[in-house]
Amino acid sequence: MMMTMRSALLLALLAVLLLPGQQAVAAEPPRAEQVQSDVSTREISIQSNFTGIEIVLFGSIDFSRAPSLDEGPYDVIMVIRGPNRPIVVRRKERIAGLWMNGASETFPSVPGFYAVLASRPFRAAASETVLKKLGIGFSNLDFGKTAEGETADDGFRASLIGLQQEHGLFLESDDAISFIGRSLFRVASHCRSTCRSAATPRKCSCFAMASC
């Protein structure tokens, strides 16, 4: 009977000692999710035989609360932007049977390379207000004011964006980012030889949002 009482007292003491620690763990608030990202190539050497390069962007969502890959609640948008430079867009006009330069517009601040890569259509993942604030998407790019301090003509702006797309310098892709597991993601972007003047990314941003 004495041994039984001692055992009961010992168990009760252990329970009292363990209880505060258990309460502390239960009371600890969940850690906030954080986006970590990086790029495989920070500097690109441009030589006479340069034909292009693949840039891999990757990242993870730390302290992810996604229960599984199939139920991942995240939308990821990555923006790659090269150094700005001035570009002149000229309208071709046919005069007396010859094509000649007509009116022109100078855009003082055009990214040498610009890509928006997303895990799903980014205009469905974020509101237009958020996209405009962050400068995400061709329609939200700020090319600066003209020499007269005015906003450039929409026709010239559209032509500039179209030409940059044709040369592989502007890109929007709604399904470029893929998830590996519930919180790891990656995307590969190919920079062609036309990226010579702006091959080194000046800025790479990553945004992750929880789906509703």
Summarize the chain as % helix, strand, coil (round to 5): 30, 40, 35
Strand order in the sheet with 178-180: 34-39, 52-62, 184-192, 178-180
- Provide mean pLDDT across the span 55-80: 77
When pLDDT is averaged across residues 28-46 and rounded to a whole number, the result is: 73
Say if residues 76 and 205 touch (Cβ distance below 8 Å): no
Chain segment 156-208, per-residue pLDDT in tens: 899 999 999 998 889 999 988 888 877 888 888 776 655 554 444 555 565 65
pLDDT in tens, 116-133: 989 889 998 889 999 999
Q: What is the pLDDT of residues 95-113, one digit of tens each?
A: 777 777 778 888 999 998 8
Q: How confident is the model at residue 13 (pLDDT cuts 50, 70, 90)?
A: very low
Q: Where are the domains of the chain?
A: 32-210
**C-alpha distance from residue 172 to each of 113, 117, 120, 160 (Å):** 12, 6, 11, 15
